[in-house]
A = this chain, B = another copy of it.
Amino acid sequence: MATIKDVAKHAGVAISTASAAINRSAPVSEEVIAKVEAAVRDIGYVPHAAAQSLRMGQSRLIGLILPDITNPHFANVARVVESVCLEAGYMAAVYSTNEDFDRERQILRMMRAQRVAGLIIIPTRSDATHGARLAGEIHVPTVLLDSYVDGLPYDVVKLDNVGAGRLATDYLLGLGHRRIAVTTGRDNIITGEDRLQGYLEAHAAFGVPVDPNLQITGKFLQAVAHDNTLALMRAPAPPTAIFALSNMMMLGVLNALRELKLSVPEDVSVICIDDFDYANIMNPPPTVVAAPVAKMAQTAIEQLFEEILNKSQPTMAVREFVPELIIRESCRRL
């Protein structure tokens, strides 16, 4: 493969001059620039990224670590990050943790070996133990997306989750529902807890008591939400509405209701947080509280570049985005 040495020889200049001409990093005459550029084109020179990394002490690689790329929510994030990186001449390396902590560490080590310039992490846990373990593996500018992690002192870009929980619950309460079930997240991730808090706050504001039996665990997983919905609806005094704290859990809920031959929204209303790309061909088209995913991803990657390029310290700022209620056909007025 052609090196800059070949370019220099071909253009009849020194290596350092060729480098300066290519990168405009030092004054070079127009004439020489033209010769060098011609040489680059002629021999098809593409700089060796590893050599550049080595010399400059930093690669043009951005790591994006997320729970699962097949979840459309995260795929949308990936697409945005990837585009912005490409434009900036960086390469995005996307990795799914599959919620596996060993795997997460393995990925971080690999990112470290690659000397990535920065990291965007969509965390799977928020607790300090986990944060401490992660902290030791991170040595580059980092932005946390969707949630934060205790003990990881980085910028955060997230949804107003309490607000999202309230928005969904307010809507159901406004429709006259008084027994609203909720599929919760996992204990150790704050996103779910915040959304649940919104659910509780909305009840308090409406003066409606909450029934703890209506809070079923979903762990952000489709299968878990499915199983517990089955149990919930078979128990005495089932709810008239179900609020799924994430889109994956809503799928589980819908599947369970379908198996029970309960129709939505006639028998039970359903709402969730996070929109679906293909909402309109779903059965029924779901009413959701949507997050501005693309805008959030864009903000995260831009914040990251800000820190990388200007070598600025993380402000540890938390940027919260406002959720939006999208009314479709999965909730009915009682």
A interface vs B, CB < 8 Å? Answer: 1, 44, 46-51, 53-54, 59, 68-70, 72, 75-76, 78-79, 82, 86, 89, 91-96, 103, 106-107, 109-110, 112-115, 136, 139, 251, 254-255, 258, 277-278, 280-284
CB contact between A70 and one of B54, B110, B251, B277 (< 8 Å): that residue: B277
Instruction: Return A270 CB to nearest CB of chain B, in Å.
Output: 11
A86, B107: Cβ atoms closer than 8 Å:
yes
Residue contacts A-B, CB under 8 angstroms, 26 given: A46-B109, A46-B113, A48-B54, A48-B113, A49-B50, A49-B113, A49-B115, A50-B51, A50-B53, A50-B59, A69-B69, A69-B75, A69-B79, A70-B78, A75-B75, A82-B96, A86-B103, A86-B107, A89-B110, A91-B93, A92-B94, A93-B93, A251-B281, A255-B280, A283-B283, A283-B284
Give the copy number. Answer: 2
B49, A78: Cβ atoms closer than 8 Å:
no
Residue of chain B at shortest CB distance from A63: B91
B86, A46: Cβ atoms closer than 8 Å:
no
Instruction: Return A260 CB to nearest CB of chain B, in Å.
Output: 13
Instruction: Return A256 CB to nearest CB of chain B, in Å.
Output: 10
